Amino acid sequence: MWIKACIISFIISAIVQPVLIPFLRKLKFGQTILEDGPTWHEKKQGTPTMGGIGFIAATVIASLFFVRDLRGGAILLCGVLFGVIGFIDDYIKVVKKRNKGFSAKQKFLAQTVVSLLYASFLYFSFGQTATKIPFTDISLNLGIFYIPFVMLVLLATTNSANLTDGLDGLAASVGSIISLFFALALATVSAQAEASAISGALTGGLLGFLIYNAYPAKVFMGDTGSLFIGGIISAVAISAGMELFIIISAFVFLFEALSVIIQVGVYKKTKKRVFKMAPVHHHFEMSGWKETKVVAVFSIVTLLLCAICYVAL
């Protein structure tokens, strides 16, 4: 099932982008490059953004061929709502010309509401309270603490995916590998066919998008796409009780966020920087790595970590 969803989504995504890119350019939805990024990224100024709309549409359409129950529908809705938050943020940046988009408080509040709704749905509708421990047959019952736990997983994963989207093809490459892992894992081990199909659809959508997003990128996904990726991946993992597997499989996402936290925290106390620039993908760029090398290495690391995750099942 997941393979069919992947193929359908890939075809839709690959076909949609050549139509979407000129449309975004016509609307002047061009990326604004922040001044605190590497100076050589300035050449990307004006590249169409919000291209995530294309693979979101592909993922949703392909998934709807296979999703038949409330649990699968909730996964899709969760991802789409995070995508909507990203879309509003992007719209403020590119149309209202406010580089930072949402204020931090507004963005966090919106994400918190979506996270609370999804966690509450699983808790009250299905009585879901357990999370699987990797490398064991043990499931930890969290009781009422399941709700804040799920909220933390959603917020951490979506914002980490958002921070990873800083190089051509990076978030899409890493995201497609992680979603492929969950598609395989849920199809062969956890027997959650609909969640597996949604993961497969996301994989196909991202691969279709990569045709145009790989270096040199003709389009960027924007927060629209990166928040959707984080939302779908975390919602699928949560639905399967595999929240802790995100720490391993999506370590690259999480380390990107952790690098920012470390950089800001240490600088505030010591006025010294741990990394040459954060998020950490910029550190490697500043160390002389080409974008393509960073993307390749981060993708290989993610592939190896996902293989470890599969063993951990």
Mean per-residue pLDDT pooled into runs of 10, the chain (313 residues): 96 97 87 60 79 97 95 97 95 74 85 98 96 95 97 98 96 98 89 91 98 96 97 97 97 97 94 93 94 97 97 90
Any domain includes 297: no
* Per-residue confidence (pLDDT) for residue 192, from 0 to 100: 84
* Per-residue confidence (pLDDT) for residue 88, from 0 to 100: 93
Instruction: List the structure tokens of 6.
Output: 């992947």
* Per-residue confidence (pLDDT) for residue 95, from 0 to 100: 76
Any domain includes 290: no
Counting the structural domains of the chain, the total is: 1
- Backbone phi, psi, residue 48, to 5°: -55, 135
What range does the domain containing 24 cover?
Answer: 2-247
> What distance in Å separates the CA atoms of residue 35 and residue 293, rounded to the nearest whole number?
23
* Per-residue confidence (pLDDT) for residue 43, from 0 to 100: 67
Any domain includes 295: no
Any domain includes 68: yes
Using alpha carbons only, what angle is made at residue 178 by residues 281 and 118, rounded to the nearest 5 degrees?
Answer: 105
Q: Are 58 and 204 contacting, i.e. CB atoms less than 8 angstroms apart?
A: yes
Spatial CA neighbour of 222 closest among 62, 76, 20: 20
Amino acid at 263: Q
Any domain includes 262: no
Any domain includes 149: yes
Any domain includes 282: no
Enter the pTM of the model. Answer: 0.94
* Per-residue confidence (pLDDT) for residue 99, from 0 to 100: 60
Instruction: Give the three-class secondary structure for 218.
Output: coil
Any domain includes 299: no
